[in-house]
């Protein structure tokens, strides 16, 4: 259970379309918000992020990138820097180069899970616009520890994948437009909950793995059961984890995937493999063509014919691979709205 002198913590996650939603959210926060706001937005691992400056101008609360060891102080906004997980522990934040989750670092699930473990019912989790489902497992963790989970209105979000996934995975407390989310957050942190369910062994292990804790990384037992699938990042075995109706995966070194994110990453890996196959086939066809021309020039007609036949067979195979690549671009049907 968090200490009574610890501030409430508002953790916010967003991805595609999230800058606009974050700007609108912080612009509606009151100056006297009794919470520390921690933000993860999916951003490229290289370069710089202008998000802290955008949020600092948007509302009354000062915003900046988090620094290792920053204390949780009410009335401030700390943003995860590029290529670092934002982790909550012992009334402060740490920055980690731990394993990616759902293909992201920083990841929303890491922030939400670590905050839930450290602050229990003093956490309000907010999932805003974004694709796929990072934040769904984090919302489950927040609820497991007695916190509150809110999501952006599906119709308002520029990309409704993340809010819908969180609402499907966890018992969300409210689905609201961003301006109303800000008002609800202010109410919740004033009347924060105090009864904290215990931290599960799974939550402890996963939070420690995200922070590269040696005791967790060297632990021989992995959470979940062997799935038979491989991790797209390190090619190690994935273990299947069930939390309520949610299915997700984690490998031995800590890469974590929701089912939807795993399929998306596998599609990317498959496309890369198909492009390599297409390149090899095109090179083989070109080589056969050149060898056929040389054989014909040397009067070896039968050899030239075999090279031309091989060239045509290879080109047919190349067209098949090309059609497979084209089919990968088909957009799957949208999941139904959770009731």
User: CA nearest 33: which of 13, 62, 65, 12?
Assistant: 62
Residue 330 C-alpha from the chain's centroid: 22
Which residue is listed with tokens 């402890």? Answer: 204
* 272-304 per-position pLDDT tens digit: 888 899 999 999 999 999 999 999 999 999 999
Asked if 41 and 22 count as a contact pair (C-beta separation under 8 A), the reply is: yes
Helix (H, G, I), strand (E, B) or coil at 336: coil
Q: Which residues are catalytic?
A: 15, 42, 134
Give the tokens for residue 18. 């999230």
Q: What is the mean pLDDT of residues 93-112?
A: 96
- Cis preceding linkage at 106, omega within 30: yes
DSSP H helix total and E strand total for the chain: 10, 13
What's the mean pLDDT in 188-208?
A: 87
Length of the chain (residues): 339
pLDDT at 1 over 60: no
Q: What are the tens digits of pLDDT across the range 56-75?
A: 999 999 999 999 999 999 99
> What pLDDT sits at residue 194?
74
Judged against a pLDDT cut of 60, whether residue 4 lies above it is answered with no
CATH 3.90.960.10 fits 8-190, yes or no: no
Give the orientation angle of helix 136-144 with respect to helix 108-119, to 10 degrees: 10
| pLDDT above 50: residue 337 | no
Cα separation, 277 vs 323, whole angstroms? 13
Q: Is 331 a residue whose pLDDT tops 70?
A: no
CA distance 139 to 119: 14
Residue 86 bridge partners (DSSP)? 95
Alpha carbons 26 and 10: distance in angstroms, whole number: 11
Above 70 in pLDDT, residue 161? Answer: yes
Cα 38 from Cα 47, distance rounded (Å): 21
Q: Which residue has the tokens 């019912």?
A: 121
């Amino acid at each position: 259970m968090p200490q009574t002198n610890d501030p409430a913590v508002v953790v916010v996650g967003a991805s595609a379309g999230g800058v606009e939603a974050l700007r609108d959210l912080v612009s509606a926060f009151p100056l006297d918000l009794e919470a520390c706001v921690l933000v993860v937005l999916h951003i490229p691992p290289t370069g710089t992020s202008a998000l802290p400056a955008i949020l600092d101008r948007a509302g009354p609360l000062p915003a900046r990138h988090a620094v290792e060891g920053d204390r949780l102080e009410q009335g401030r906004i700390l943003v995860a820097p590029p290529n670092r997980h934002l982790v909550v522990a012992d009334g402060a934040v740490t920055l980690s180069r731990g394993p990616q989750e759902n293909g992201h670092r920083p990841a929303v699930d890491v922030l939400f899970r670590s905050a839930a473990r450290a602050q229990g019912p003093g956490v309000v989790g907010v999932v805003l616009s974004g694709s796929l489902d990072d934040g769904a497992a984090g919302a489950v963790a927040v609820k497991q520890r007695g916190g509150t989970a809110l999501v952006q209105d599906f119709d308002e979000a520029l990309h409704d994948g993340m809010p819908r996934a969180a609402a499907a995975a966890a018992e969300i407390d409210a689905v609201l437009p961003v301006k109303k989310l800000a008002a609800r957050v202010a109410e919740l942190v004033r009347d924060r909950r105090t009864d904290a369910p215990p931290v599960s062994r799974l939550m402890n292990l996963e939070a420690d793995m995200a922070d590269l804790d040696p005791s967790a990384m060297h632990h021989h037992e992995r959470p979940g059961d062997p799935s038979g699938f491989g991790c797209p990042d390190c090619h190690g075995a994935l273990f299947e984890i069930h939390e309520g109706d949610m299915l997700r995966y984690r490998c031995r070194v800590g890469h974590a995937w929701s089912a939807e994110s795993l399929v998306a990453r596998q599609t990317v890996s498959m496309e890369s493999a198909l492009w390599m196959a297409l390149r090899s086939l095109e090179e083989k066809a070109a080589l056969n063509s050149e060898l056929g021309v040389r054989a014909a020039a040397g009067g070896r007609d039968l050899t030239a014919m075999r090279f031309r036949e091989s060239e045509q067979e290879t080109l047919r195979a190349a067209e098949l691979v090309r059609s497979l690549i084209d089919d990968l671009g088909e957009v799957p049907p949208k999941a139904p709205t959770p009731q």
